[in-house]
Amino acid sequence: MSRSWRLDGVDLARLDRLASRIALSLKTGDVLALSGPLGAGKTTLARALVAHLDGDTEVPSPTFALMQQYETPRLTLSHCDFYRLQNDELEELGLDDALADGALLIEWPERAAGWLPADRLDITLEETSDPGTRNIVLTGHGGWALRLDRLQALAGFLDHTAYAKADARFLQGDASARSYARLVLPDRRAILMNAPRQPDGPPIREGKPYSALVHLAEDVTPFVAVADALRVRGFAAPAIEAFDLEDGFVVLEDLGDRVFGAELERGGDQAELWSAAVDVLLALAAAPPSETLPLAGHPAYRLPRFDAEAMLIEASLIVEWLWPTVHGREIPSDLRAEFEALWRPHLEKAAKADPGWVLRDYHSPNLMWLPDREGVRNVGLLDFQDALSGPLAYDLVSLLQDARLEVPEALERAELDRYCSARNGQGESFSSDDFRTLYATLGAQRNSKILGIFARLAKRDGKRGYLAHMPRVARYLERDLAHPALGDLRNFYAREFPAAADLPPPSL
């Protein structure tokens, strides 16, 4: 399987932009094979690719060595020039080892044709009658075929925006399939979201996949609709500058780099940041969503409800992924039935309580500190494509029991008290006691889900960095289960799961 993409009349500026788009796609294990006659511009393209991966690196002429390695922030890039390659030198280069640690960029690849993997991107540069331009043919083989389609779609999308000539700089994303880049022009910048439509996956219940059962976004439509709805209500969601719902590309306002976690590392005041974020939640409580959200040029988007079944499926991740690791076997069906029977009445009650916005991932990685803005606009909102209509306590739990960093219990209690006091003062029918029960219930639900997800990421996906957060999340869970209304759940968890100090299990 292979796909091709041809670009004619490419000058140096377009070549550099192409390199920046290709650099966004590179990952460990990639092979890029650059072909063309002497002087066609292979080394120029290679240098541009290295520069876009690590702008601080000076790239010497590769003809001085068969292989030159560059340690970039994302991966190790090995730049090979095989023009002078001898038959007995190929094996000595350790190409397989280099590929295991990073990506390979190969000039004169035909001299190593017997080694080249079937899964690669070929880039052929052809001279033209104009010495200042080249024709370029990109051919994706194997897995690169579909990746090249995506790369071509991305470039085509940008060509129809105000950022057609922008440099694209990779930004570290999250655990999802989405990726991000900063688009930079001399007088402006923006963020590119690259979010390919997610496959539904196999059905797991009632003929539906997990994403459908828990109402996860499968394309960028919810992000665009919710962003506009939040901005209309006066919140600092990024402005949407351009979007393609079908292909899953969005150009959005660049809110900067001052995410809450980084602010704390720079010495920021956690109490000030978290207090500002609670103020946003109080304002959201007073500005509820409508059932449908307008979407320019498209049918309105219907905001899903956070129903009890979705909550239960999420909570069940702890018995699907963590329980088997703790006990060394799959959970018996009767024990799982007991788990669901205990949870169901709590969640059915929670799903009907205190409705409003549920942005769903309202915690430090997704909140931006914008101190130059006034009021609730001093907190930027980044991640809300999975937003729902549901119990307002959910986002407060997400914030005050942050899975990625420690929120001191004293700060949690103070902000929970302040939130309840403010809601009481808003003149609505609000019970602090009922809300605290709801808060504990949703905290136990959310932290059960997160422990299951972190176990899954470590065991199935090999992302063991998430294990470091499990003891913290387990402590939050203990805190929630201590609520008197959750005694039945507390007994189940005490029996079936270890204390917080024992997480994560060694087998993870």
- Residue 176 is predicted with a pLDDT of 63
The answer for residues whose C-beta is within 8 angstroms of residue 67's C-beta and 6 or more apart is 78, 79, 80, 93, 98
User: Which of 58-67, 467-476, 480-489 has the lowest average pLDDT?
Assistant: 58-67
Q: What percent of the chain lies above the pLDDT cut of 70?
A: 94
Largest CA distance in the chain: 83
What pLDDT is stored for residue 63 in this prediction? Answer: 52
Calpha distance 333→402 (Å, rounded)? 32
H-run or E-run covering 472: helix 470-481
What pLDDT band is residue 405 in, cutting at 50, 70 and 90?
very high
Residue whose C-alpha is closest to residue 180's, from 116, 252, 104, 272: 252
For the stretch 264-307, pLDDT in tens is 999 999 999 999 999 999 999 999 999 999 998 999 999 999 99
Task: Give the strand pairing for 179-185 and 67-71.
Answer: unpaired
Ordered DSSP codes for 31-62? EEEEE-STTSSHHHHHHHHHHHH-TT-----G
**pLDDT at residue 466 greater than cutoff 70:** yes
Task: List all residues 6 or more positions away from 104 whose beta carbon is below 8 Å from its beta carbon.
Answer: 30, 31, 32, 77, 78, 80, 95, 98
Average pLDDT over residues 117-136: 95
Model confidence over 376-403: pLDDT tens digits? 999 999 999 999 999 999 999 999 999 9
Burial of 319: CB neighbours in 10 Å, binned 0-12, 13-18, 19+: buried
Helices (H) and strands (E) in the chain, counts: 17, 18
Q: What is the pLDDT of residues 47-96, one digit of tens each?
A: 899 889 876 556 555 555 677 888 888 888 989 888 777 666 666 677 88
- Average pLDDT on 185-210 reads 85
pLDDT for the residue numbered 330:
93
pLDDT surpasses 90 at 371: yes
pLDDT at position 502, please? Answer: 76
* DSSP label at residue 322: I
Write the CA distances from 471 to 260, 466, 496, integer angstroms: 21, 10, 16
Instruction: Note the pTM of the prediction, 2 decimals.
Output: 0.91
Helices assigned H by DSSP within 67-206: 95-101, 144-159
Mean pLDDT value across residues 467-490: 96
Q: Is the pLDDT of residue 98 over 90?
A: no
Q: In the predicted model, what is the mean pLDDT of residues 369-373?
A: 97
CA distance 396 to 358: 9
Environment class of 62 (CB within 10 Å of its CB; exposed 0-12, middle 13-18, buried 19+): buried
Question: How far is CA 128 from each of CA 7, 15, 135, 272, rounded to the nearest angstrom?
Answer: 12, 14, 7, 61
Give residue 100's pLDDT: 87
Q: How far, CA to CA in Å, does 24 sit from each of 31, 149, 264, 494?
A: 14, 14, 29, 46
Residues 6+ apart with CB under 8 A from 278: 396, 399, 415, 418, 419
Whether 40 and 28 have beta carbons less than 8 Å apart is answered as no
Write down the mean pLDDT value for the chain: 91
Residue 92 vs residue 26, higher pLDDT:
26
Q: How confident is the model at residue 154 (pLDDT cuts 50, 70, 90)?
A: very high
pLDDT higher than threshold 80 for residue 458: yes
